Each structure stands twice: as C-alpha cells, then as structure tokens.
Amino acid sequence: MLSSPLQLFVIKLGASELYLGLLSFFVSYTGFFYLMSMYKIQVVGKSVVLFKGWFITALIMIPMALLPAFAIIMPDKSQMILWIVLLIVAARGISDGYGSSAWFPILQDNVPARITGKFFARFRIFWQTSILLLVWTMSFYLGKEATYGKFTIIFTVGLIFLFVRAQACKRICELPPTGEKPESGLLKRISGLLRHQPLRIYLVYVIMYNLAISITPPFQLKMLKNYGYSDGYILLATSMIPLSAIFTLRFWGKISDRYGNRSVFSTCVLGNMLTIFLWIIIDDGGFSRFFVFVLYFMWGMFTAGNGIAQTRHILHSTPRTDQAAIVLTNLLSSISLATAPLLGGIFLSLSRDISVKSGAVSFDNYHILFLLSTLLFIVPYKLRRKLRITEEDSTLYVMSAILRPLRQAIDSFIKVQPDNMDDDDNGQKS
C-alpha cells in the first residue's frame, strides 16, 4: 500500500515534489518509534510486540482503502484528500515502528551465524518473488491510466495483507524474554554504542548510503509521469527491482558467507552510484523507454547485495544478549531513510526554475538531484574497507576467485603454440 501504487495515486491527485518528499518521509520514519518498544521486547517478548504494533497498523490503514472513492465523489477536494493520506501514513508509522523494533532481534534468534547470507538470500528471494508477481499484476490491472476505482481494489488487497502479516507473526519462534528492563537509560545506551569505533563507522556508512540511495526514487516516478509514461508502464519498469533481486540474491549470499562483506559493499556502492548517474540521460524518447528497465534492474541488483551485506554485518557484530543495540542502529538508519526524500523534495521545490536547453540536450533540477545523489555515494565507498567483522577478502581477490572457472574453461580451448611450431625438421621456417 505504501509503494509505487500510493505514489501514483497521490500524483494523480496533483501531488507536488515537496509533497512526495514529505510522504516518503512519513513512509520511512517508522524507526523513530523503535524507542517505544526497545525494552519491551526483552520484557514481554518479541512476537507480542510484533503482533500488537502490526495489528494496530492494519486498523489504521483501513481508511486508506476508502480514499479513492472519496476522490470520485469529491473531485474538487483533492488537496484535502492529500492531507488525509499524510495523516494516515504518519499515524501508521508510529504503530509500525512500535512493532517492527522486534523484527531483526527475532530474526537473530532464528538464524545461525554461519549461514546468515544464505538464509537471507533465500528469504528475500521468496519475498521479492511475491512482490514481483504483485507488481506485474498491478501493472496489467492499472493499464495506461489508472482510475480511482482501480486504486480502491489495490489498497483493499494491501489492507488484507497487513492483517495477514500481523496474524502470521504470532507463530514465529524466539528466545524467551528476560523479563527485566536494563538499568541504564536510553542516553547511556546510545553513548555506550557510539564509543565503539567500528559501530560509529558503520553508522556513518549506513546514514550516508541511505541518504544517497533514498533521495531520488519518488522523483524518478514523478519525472517519468512528467514525460508521459503510463501508470502500468511505470509499474512494469519498477518490477525489474524485485526481478533482479531474485536473480542475484543467492549469488550475493554465497559471496558474503564465503569471502565476507567487503567485496559486496564495494561492488554494490559503485553499482548504485553508476545507476543513479545514468538517470540523467532518461527522457521521453524510445531509447529511454527501454533503458529505464535496465536502470531499475541494476538498482534492484545492487541494493539487494548491499542489503545482504548490511544485514550480515549488524547481526554478526551485535551480541544476542544486547539486541537493543540492533534497535538503536536501525533507528538511526531509519532517520536517514526518512530524511533523504524530504530533502530531495525541498530541493526540487526550491529549484524548479532551473532548466537549461540546448538543441536536443536538456538539463534541469531533476538532473542536478541525480548528480548530488551520485556524489553522496563517495562517502560510503571510502568507508567500505573499514566495515570488517573478521579478516575479509579484498574485492580483487573475490573477483579473481569468481572468474577462475571461466579462465580455466577458456584455457582448455585455447592452446598456446611454442615459437618453433612452424619450423621444419631442418630448423628453418617453412
């Protein structure tokens, strides 16, 4: 309910760039409210916290399924409906943050450290396959120009899934709660975490990576709509994100488990940097209508790999006896995820008059935003080598190991002849 269909719905209502940034902020700010239940997961249990938060989230989202109908009945009240969407999404973030604080700790209870990469690869393949099928279905269903009635159906199905999610979490196993609240207060816990240099480096990496990767996505959809791309076409293009994740997650999981996270961090940061930079060539031409699929495929591939590496890093570097540290880390990560699109929306609103055209070449504030996002990736790229849990293999070594079978296969077909192969028996050239 909170992905591309919602963004297309508010764009249809006339949402501005600033509104899209604000909406994306409220979609992603759930981590702000991890503090509400950070200690409860140790006292009452993780599955209890999950169910309570996620069930309330489903209840809060019920009005969202009705808003497209209001847009039909009251076509002149689009601005009011946009504000209602913001209120619903903001309220949902509070309850979802309360419940989701227990998600990574309960995963840590169930996943053996030796197969973390492999497990999350399989887990996310299943998850991304479900998303892919849903996006393809929605793309076909919405067609060239989505009606409000079609958004009603999509939001209703999403609401059903939210209730199913809440019910399913009650069956997840977990380590027994300690029943005791830590004596140290919140500020002491945060200061204690930040005293550890490896964690400080990781937090800077995550914050800058999130700012770089999250500042543009809502506005990519807005730009495509401005160029005349249909709703169904845009959803079909974004389906390349889960499709590429399905193809590559198993690979990233094996690499990270066998060689460590370092090579995955390096490859994926550079890949994301290149992908964002190439958005500057997208327009309304025929080549762009093909190339946007390539860019979304690349985006999904590299974000999937970085997600595997981040998950392994935080789960391996945090003891099971101090899972509140995971919550605090995810909280700071969430702040950056939520802030990035808001900053992007503010920038686009303030720079809307920037536009340079020279013949077939055009350059506007959207292109500047893509370039700024590209530059932000420099910081996490510089920090990637310091993200070590143990001794990890370099990127060049990993690439060499991966390509070794290919080189051996080529060598078996190519035979290098010695210099004297062409000599005759008398030692002279024939």
Judged against a pLDDT cut of 90, whether residue 404 lies above it is answered with: no
Per-residue CA distances from 389 to 9, 268, 313 (Å) = 43, 18, 7
Choice between 428 and 126, residue whose per-residue pLDDT is larger: 126
170 CB-side CA count, 13 A:
8
| Whole-number pLDDT of residue 424 | 47
Judged against a pLDDT cut of 90, whether residue 218 lies above it is answered with: no
| Whole-number pLDDT of residue 379 | 92
Choice between 413 and 302, residue whose per-residue pLDDT is larger: 302
Where would I find the beta strands (DSSP E) of 217-354?
none
The amino acid present at 63, given as its one-letter code, is P
* Domain residue spans of the chain: 4-173+184-402
Average pLDDT over residues 137-142: 85
| Whole-number pLDDT of residue 412 | 54
From the list 75, 369, 362, the residue with the least C-alpha distance to 227 is: 362
As a whole number of angstroms, the distance between CA 252 and CA 123 comes to: 13
Q: Which of 144-158, 319-333, 366-380 has the lowest mean pLDDT?
A: 319-333
The amino acid present at 215, given as its one-letter code, is I
Task: Provide the pLDDT confidence category of residue 212 given band limits of 50, 70 and 90.
Answer: very high
Task: Provide the pLDDT confidence category of residue 272 given band limits of 50, 70 and 90.
Answer: very high
Superfamily of domain 4-173+184-402: MFS general substrate transporter like domains (1.20.1250.20)
Average pLDDT over residues 102-120: 75
- Which sign, positive or negative, has the C-alpha torsion 281, 286, 289, 292? negative
Q: Are 38 and 323 in contact (CB under 8 A)?
A: no
> What percent of the chain is predicted at pLDDT more than 90?
30
The amino acid present at 89, given as its one-letter code, is V
Maximum average pLDDT range among 143-152, 241-250, 322-331, 397-406: 241-250
Q: Are 141 and 154 in contact (CB under 8 A)?
A: yes
What's the burial of 89, exposed, middle or buried (CB within 10 Å: 0-12/13-18/19+)?
A: buried
Tokens representing residue 383 in the block: 């920090």
pLDDT digits (tens, 9 = 90+) for 53-100: 999 999 999 999 999 999 999 888 889 999 999 999 999 999 998 888
- How confident is the prediction for the chain on average, in pLDDT? 82
Return the CA Rg of the chain. Answer: 25
